[in-house]
Amino acid sequence: MPILKHAKKKLKQDKKRTIRNKKIKVTFKSLVKKAKETKSAEALGQAFSAVDKAVKKNILNKNKAARMKSSLAKQVSSDKPAAASVKVKKTVKKAAPATHTAKASKTSGAKKIKPSAKK
């Protein structure tokens, strides 16, 4: 048991977070299992959604989620060709457009040197 005040508070916070994370884990695991059993497009979409939410909450790593979604899609599409029509939503962040105020000179790459003054 924690003795210090901040340690007690941290324990309370950890318990709350554990409960919240457990709900999300149980949800996505059950939906993935259901999708594997039923092999329907609707179940696949729900499983994808749950996995994406778990990634958003930092419960799953994004690469593991991608691997899970890929294997699920393969399992479902191997049995039913109609399941291949499910759209997979990719979450890709786009880079902000670059705004350049000054253009570089294209004609000469070297700096122009002024002639030195005669003495």
Structural domains in the chain (count) = 1
Structural contact between residues 35 and 46, judged by C-beta atoms closer than 8 angstroms: yes
Interatomic CA distance for residues 48 and 69, integer angstroms: 6
Is residue 98 domain-resident? no
Q: Is residue 2 part of a domain?
A: no
Q: What is the pLDDT along the chain (119 residues), one digit of tens a residue?
A: 899 999 999 999 999 999 999 999 999 999 999 999 999 999 999 999 999 999 999 999 999 999 999 999 998 888 655 544 556 566 666 666 666 655 555 555 566 666 766 66
Domain of 64, in residue numbers: 28-85
Alpha helix segments (H runs only) across the chain: 5-38, 41-56, 62-79
Q: Is residue 91 part of a domain?
A: no
pTM: 0.60
AA identity, residue 6: H
Residue 93 lies in a domain: no
